[in-house]
């Protein structure tokens, strides 16, 4: 499991990467650990511009934020998967 500060920092960086064309900033960030037995994953932006991710790995967030493929993510800690 990721330390809360690491998750928060990454969530903020992903949010900024997703909304680069709009004014930067956010009102609330909530990061919670997923249930390890949960299935399925969801990444998206609501019509109001809110970024939402549920049951998503760090690697999946990196892929989404930077529009890259797995082979382009060269290194990182094992927990990113």
Per-residue tokens: 53:
């991710």
Residue 69: per-residue pLDDT: 92
> pLDDT (tens digit, 9 = 90+) per residue, 33-76?
888 888 888 888 889 888 888 888 888 888 888 899 989 988 88
On whether the CB atoms of residues 55 and 41 are closer than 8 A, the answer is: yes
């Amino acid at each position: 499991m990721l330390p809360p500060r690491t998750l928060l920092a990454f969530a903020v960086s992903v949010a900024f990467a997703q909304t680069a064309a709009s004014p930067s900033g956010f009102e609330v960030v909530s990061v919670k650990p997923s249930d390890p037995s949960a299935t399925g994953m969801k990444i998206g932006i609501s019509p109001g511009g809110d970024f939402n991710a549920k049951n998503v790995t760090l690697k999946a967030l990196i892929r989404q934020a930077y529009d890259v493929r797995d082979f382009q993510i060269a290194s990182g800690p094992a927990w990113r998967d």
